Structure 1
Amino acid sequence: MSCRSCLAGESLYEVRLSDPENEAVAGAIAGFLEERGAPKQSKRDTILLRESAVADFYDFCLDHMSPASMDYRVNEGDWKPIGALPDELRERWVEGIIAEERVVTYAQPIVAADGDIYGYEVLARFLDDDGKLLSPADVFAAAKRRNRLYALDRMCRMAAVRSAVHLEGKVFINFIPTSIYSPQHCLRTTTALSRELGLDASRFVFEVVESEQVEDLDHLKSILSYYSEQGFSYALDDVGTGFSTPELLRDIKPHYMKLDRGAADGVSGDPAKQRTAGELLSAAMQVGAVPLAEGIEREEDYRWLQALGYRLFQGYLWGRPEAIRPVD
């Protein structure tokens, strides 16, 4: 089972006409479109187009149809006004990153309270056509707008798992839960790859990012349950309002909970940040999760959080993310 959003091939556009005159024009050109590679048009009120043809069709509809009543979607994603199509097409560059797997992995150490290395967080970085690094935020934003978030997120997860053979200890890997349609189908390639490489599942910690944007908590729980059944651990990153109740945290049962950089940086001298750090630590202890503070740059913040009871730490104090190099 697969979905078009998961694949690296050419995107499929569906244009909804929503007007009898638009439908009449579309019916007149259906054969023309199919002769030029478009899928067979099976509905009167929609047109299916491959991406290679959609720009020309957009120009045509501006001249001969009523675009104000038209909208479109890509790879069965959300519907958008047809006027948003030019911006969509300008972001086709992200398709090349996915198709050519232009991703490199970086690792940042995670240390225990005594300063020993506990593991690493693996981070994805992307390359443009010239091999220069791109902003990860820009790449993920473009993929989200094109409904290609799963394909990009999957590529990053697979690259991170492959990188684990060059690392010691636990390996923390980010994933975006809203990009996963069905855990049993979308995540099985990740589990299969770890087994193929001979990597014990207990080494991996899958880290929920954008947790504050998760609206379907039952779906998130199904993902985390799948990971747990496969022997993996999972962490909640930047625990937000969606996970604020002790009952819900007990239901999700995270193995790790991360205090984000905004609350950790300068915590030794900031009473408000100290309250936040204490609240997360208390919540973690209630559900049996390991508390981890990230974004640590100052020795005094590390010592303060260490004395409070935090067990794991991450930040520039121990090293910036560095490209993972195979060990000969």
Structure 2
Amino acid sequence: MRRICTGCRDGVDFDIPFAMAFQPIVDTDTGLPFAYEALVRGLDGSGACDVLSQVTDANRYAFDQACRVKAIETAMAAGLMATAARLSINFLPNAVYSPVACIQLTLQTARAVAMPLDRLIFEFTENQLIADPEHVATIIDSYKQIGFKVAVDDFGAGHSGLDLFARFAPDEVKLDMALVRGIDREPRRQAIVRAMVGMCRELDTLLIAEGIETAEEAAVLRDLGVRYHQGYWYARPELGALPAITPGA
């Protein structure tokens, strides 16, 4: 396959060490994990900041590729296929030069560990700088044709959320935690989320609330019709493992 830029080298040139932690997205109707989100961590389990601070324009492609490989390989080694859960991976649209070319290593990795492609979700954030919306739309269309699901993370954090939602037609949207935090005490936030529940239902889009930390937040979100939950209330991220769902533990 013709390489389209000097960064397309299968991610082998990203030599900054990092690991993956996982946090469940809970289906509150069943109490089971709907998916596990892969989160970048230092080798000692430290936060992502030290790793992300070393990502530059020069190594962005390699980092994106390396994250996909490590997320898939680590999740499979941790026993993902013993569950019905999917794997959700954050990706950098600005690091994808050609959707077809840049997805090849992901496909090779999934085949090597016998991971079904329909178990993969790719997330991009609303507040990420998107220099070329048409290019992002092409990426999403290509991913959907392959069989992946696509999610918008931090939905509601920026000014362009509804435009992104309309333009890119994601399979899932994740409410920004600024809307979720303390929602049990905020009628205005409840009204906004209630409207979003109705909109997502009409558009056949799955809505996930992230950043849930209390029983009260979880209960109000359930009452508002948000079925899928993520946050410390259910489980903290665990390095190299799929944590059990233990509300309030």
Normalised-by-shorter TM-score class: 0.7 to 0.9
Pairing partner for 1:158 from 69, 76, 79: 69
Match of 1:110 in 2: 25
Pairing partner for 1:261 from 153, 170, 177: 177
Contact 2:190/2:224 (CA < 8 Å) preserved in 1?
A: no
Pairing partner for 1:170 from 86, 92, 98: 86
Q: Distance in 1 between matches of 2:130 and 2:187?
A: 29
Q: Distance in 1 between matches of 2:26 and 2:204?
A: 19
Specify the SS of the correspondent of 1:153: helix
> Structure 1 residue 134: deviation in Å?
5.1
Q: Distance in 1 between matches of 2:51 and 2:5?
A: 21
Letter in 2 for 1:244: L
List runs of 5+ in structure 2 lacking aligned partners: 243-249
> Structure 1 residue 164: deviation in Å?
2.9
Q: Tell me the TM-score normalised to structure 1 length.
A: 0.65
Question: 1 or 2, which has the higher helix percentage?
Answer: 1
Mapped pair 1:141 → 2:59: no
Deviates more, 1:290-299 or 1:154-163: 154-163
Pairing partner for 2:99 from 183, 196, 199: 183
> Structure 1 residue 211: deviation in Å?
4.2
> Structure 1 residue 250: deviation in Å?
4.2
> Structure 1 residue 148: deviation in Å?
1.5
Contact 2:42/2:50 (CA < 8 Å) preserved in 1?
A: no
Match of 1:217 in 2: 133
Q: Tell me the TM-score normalised to structure 2 length.
A: 0.84
In our comparison, the structure showing a higher alpha carbon Rg is 1
Q: Matched residue pairs, number?
A: 231
Q: Distance in 2 between matches of 1:303 and 1:325?
A: 27
Match of 1:84 in 2: none
> Structure 1 residue 209: deviation in Å?
2.5
| Map 1:273-284 → 2, pairs under 5 A | 273-284=189-200
CA RMSD, aligned part only? Answer: 2.2
Contact 1:249/1:287 (CA < 8 Å) preserved in 2?
A: no
Letter in 1 for 2:65: R
> Structure 1 residue 208: deviation in Å?
1.0
Contact 1:259/1:280 (CA < 8 Å) preserved in 2?
A: no
Residues 278 and 138 of structure 1, relative CA distance in 2, 3 Å threshold: farther
> Structure 1 residue 137: deviation in Å?
2.8
Pairing partner for 1:4 from 3, 6, 20: 6
Contact 2:18/2:51 (CA < 8 Å) preserved in 1?
A: no
